[in-house]
Amino acid sequence: MATQSSLSLTLQSEADTQRLAQGLAALNLSGSVWLSGNLGAGKTTLTRYWLQALGHTGAVKSPTYTLVEPYDIVLLGQGSVGGNKPVYHVDLYRLQDPEELSFIGFDEYQDDANALLIIEWASRAAEYLAAPVLLIDIAQSDSSESRNVTLQVTDEGIAASIDLTALASF
């Protein structure tokens, strides 16, 4: 059976963004996912819905000033054997020098094979970061509500058997 490693979608509403986040949560990803898009494109909104779809029930703060917001997701149901999954929401927009990441212990996040790192503005530290398993680009279309989203599984993601087929029926 063929797998799908790239996908382009148009999100017409915030409800579509929430459905995409639910589909991403169902993929049960580990590793880093790089989100790109202009300011206001919806990267943090997608991440907020993604964390909620994973089971997080509290507030989701933007890590614009802290660089990293950690979440410890309790895995329940949907075939999960339980346990916890560390998820790190990272925003590197204000990063001045990639070396700053070593000062905050970022290597520990990247070294955790079970962790999911959702990274906004990864291009600011691409040489420091572990290679992503998935790239997600969000672009505002002419309509202020709709977004064009491109998902691309990387070589690392292909090696991890990431398949976007389930999202294609979106």
Q: Quick one: which of 97, 73, 90 has its CA closest to 32?
A: 90
- What pLDDT is attached to residue 76? 61
- What pLDDT is attached to residue 81? 56
The amino acid sitting at 78 is Q
Report the alpha-carbon distance of residue 29 to residue 66 in Å, rounded.
Answer: 24
- What pLDDT is attached to residue 21? 96
Residues 75, 48 contacting (CB under 8 angstroms) = no
Q: Are strands 68-74 and 147-153 parallel, antiparallel or unpaired?
A: unpaired
Residues 7, 151 contacting (CB under 8 angstroms) = yes
Non-local (6+) Cβ contacts of 141 within 8 A are 10, 147, 148
Q: Quick one: which of 50, 133, 137, 138 has its CA closest to 88?
A: 50
- What pLDDT is attached to residue 141? 81
| pLDDT under 70: residue ranges of the chain | 1-2, 76-82, 143-144
- What pLDDT is attached to residue 74? 85
| Token pair 């997080």 in the structure block, residue | 56
59: number of Cβ within 10 Å? 8
